[in-house]
Structure 1
């Protein structure tokens, strides 16, 4: 990636030419910097999980081709992260004619003021350097956006200062011209009124804009990136056909394709309670797998309105909820380490209400549906993780009268104190990759007890204090 930063960078047009500054478009700049990243083995977008074989190859191809692009995907599929990360593919700084509102290139300025300055001063024309973060503009498409917001309009103040109304220098430039030689991102493009979409046609293809009939033409140098929901894009037809034709590439995003990817996203994105006065928080991997399986069940459930989607943010929020529930227990019971357990999962269901859109015929059954899917997720993880472990000793203990009570406010020491010297316990802990300390062991035992109950091998009664497991 070219680096023209530093105190010795050129400050005049002549010095810029002498230094050999390249004359290239923003798309060529992005393609060159993208190629450099790929050559070094670095991803174009940091922190993405599960897109290596799907989204990233399509993105790499589109940028190397110099295409404007549209990202299609449901909510929570990292579209905004991808778009915002593209600024890292811009050069750290670029030169512009000093005082230019639209980042006029010193080699070929196009606004009257910049052209006049270059004509008058020649190689002595002063230049300024614009950092990459000032070359990116993001706009959320809303019905109230006007052409003046994006393109520009006559500035009444400049007219009042004595300029003629027909003078091109009376124009107040909009968002798009002001980010010339940069990246323009428009989120939720289908929500943009059709008459405003028409105004983007020249920007997308001819690379110029005309304002209120002025003969002034602005040959803009842009990379245009937009996002949309597939439902809007394909069914409602709210992107006008000529504008769709302007995009060189369409990239489809998706939710994580397997449980492991969903877990990796949760653990990377979640904000876990921490700080002075709070215990250390641990969310065992198998608990994250339960949450991931729960999210995936909701994505395929007939009771859920799938057009609204169930995003990764839902999984991440649930991860944060069970962590906070574990902290609540640790604070109340005096434990030094807060370990998330299955008894924290009811808090997830309570916190999730309202985040998921159910079909209208399921009204009033939301808790029932989510509880059923949560139980299915626990059983799925139990069968996968504890398969092959010897639970006969644990079941024998229940046959000889063992009863175990647990709950969201019971400490790990108290829970494990009810289960002293049970054969086969080490095998269960090993299957769940859990250390042999009371707090971690309690989380594993809770999952095992609930799995055995859902497998119809143990009975469970519910009370205000929690759950009591007995012989089935």
Structure 2
């Protein structure tokens, strides 16, 4: 969402009517804008990977049907990103009554104060324009969330000003009424106390609110979205049945099913301070997927996409650190940097209770499996015989966290007429010293894991040899 155009200049309800403006209910607005984008071939869901054939069609059908939506999925599956993207289907600008607490449409005032003002001023009623970004709000559900936070309560300051306690203008509206004509998202919905969930029932079905003893019939026009972990949602029973029943669509999200989608998410979301070659992102993606399939990992808590994202950011930081201390101009992450990520990523994984004490061993094993699989995928068809024979004859290749790409390349043994190095550079499209070193380190690690060459990592350095 971006401010691509300036707000309209119409400033009164009379000008709005004269311009022929037509008010639309929220769900109709979303439906029309979604259909328009689909007809034009424009992607309504930018930045979402791996959901094209599963989740997104279900979300589109729910929006076309005008349903409130709850997304069910483990952590790090992009639920919040998807919900935020729905806001991009709102009109960029919409008129509201100036000063209105609930951002009411100038043609359809719903509060006592706005109706009185509209009756007094007529066509002179002032309006302002609200951007779509302001029509989307989020609330992280926490156990201390109150009815006043979500629905509203009596404002003691207004009562103190002399207004009667029964005056509807003494009410301070909560988050959901203030989202009138917009979208409200409640993340981790099961964490709301049950009595708070009860307070949402009227909003979800009758589209009005109840505050203490007041009887308010406010025809709220709001789309309610929510996210929840399936464990909380189905097993612990922490969402009350009447509230579950009021969501028109319950949609299960999932982790990327294709490796390419996993890599794309990592590349998109990671904030990298150094270059991270594609093959290392593939290693991290395979590493993450291995963890999701491991019986040693508690799959009920999931392995978030943030695991690979944090891994990419960590190895980029390791490359930048090496560049700063060793004087490299263009830092590029290499295989040797992957080891630095294992230690800091372990805390993001929940292991099964019987694996206590073996966490590092499990992570290291699954990372090596990911490296081996990546090498097999990327270097198929290259003959490494000349390199292996040279190592068997006594050549050694040294690398390490503080070994620069230039020094690593300078230490490579000559292979006579063999063109193995050039073939690797061409296969990986490696043009700089850093990219060449990163590609060859992957090859050497793959040869070690295939037991073609040896490796010694003692003393803080890594030496590949016989």
Shorter chain as normaliser: what TM range?
over 0.9
Q: TM-score, normalised by structure 1?
A: 0.93
- The Cα shift of 1:390 comes to 0.4
* Distance verdict in 2 for CA 1:5–1:288, change over 3 Å: closer
Q: Check the 8 A contact 1:297/1:377 in 2, yes or no.
A: yes
Q: Check the 8 A contact 1:394/1:424 in 2, yes or no.
A: no
In 2, Cα distance between equivalents of 1:100 and 1:61: 33
Does residue 24 (structure 1) correspond to residue 24 (structure 2)? The answer is: yes
Q: Check the 8 A contact 2:76/2:305 in 1, yes or no.
A: yes
Does residue 373 (structure 1) correspond to residue 404 (structure 2)? The answer is: no
Does residue 325 (structure 1) correspond to residue 318 (structure 2)? The answer is: yes
Partner of 2:78: 78
In 2, Cα distance between equivalents of 1:212 and 1:282: 58
Partner of 2:159: 159
* Distance verdict in 2 for CA 1:307–1:12, change over 3 Å: same
Partner-residue secondary structure (3-state), 1:139: strand
Does residue 301 (structure 1) correspond to residue 294 (structure 2)? The answer is: yes
Trace 1:65-464 onto structure 2 (pairs within 5 A). 65-273=65-273, 281-422=274-415, 423-426=418-421, 428-430=423-425, 432-435=427-430, 437-464=432-459
Partner of 1:46: 46
- The Cα shift of 1:418 comes to 2.9
In 1, Cα distance between equivalents of 2:398 and 2:227: 50
In 1, Cα distance between equivalents of 2:269 and 2:9: 41
Name the stretch that deviates more: 198-207 or 27-36.
27-36
Could you say what the CA RMSD is over the residues aligned between the two structures, in angstroms? Answer: 2.1
Task: Structure 2: give runs of 5+ residues left out of the alignment.
Answer: none
Partner of 1:468: 463
In 2, Cα distance between equivalents of 1:338 and 1:229: 39
In 2, Cα distance between equivalents of 1:431 and 1:230: 46
- The Cα shift of 1:365 comes to 1.1
In 1, Cα distance between equivalents of 2:76 and 2:443: 32
In 2, Cα distance between equivalents of 1:414 and 1:127: 67
Q: TM-score, normalised by structure 2?
A: 0.94
* Distance verdict in 2 for CA 1:239–1:399, change over 3 Å: same
Task: Structure 1: give runs of 5+ residues left out of the alignment.
Answer: 274-280
In 2, Cα distance between equivalents of 1:109 and 1:436: 64
- The Cα shift of 1:254 comes to 1.5
In 2, Cα distance between equivalents of 1:314 and 1:6: 40
In 1, Cα distance between equivalents of 2:401 and 2:201: 58
- The Cα shift of 1:246 comes to 0.9
Q: CA deviation digits over 1:428-448, x for unaligned, max 9?
A: 515741425543222222222
In 1, Cα distance between equivalents of 2:325 and 2:9: 61
- The Cα shift of 1:17 comes to 2.4
Q: CA deviation digits over 1:374-412, x for unaligned, max 9?
A: 111111111122222101111111232212222121122
Name the stretch that deviates more: 380-389 or 127-136.
127-136
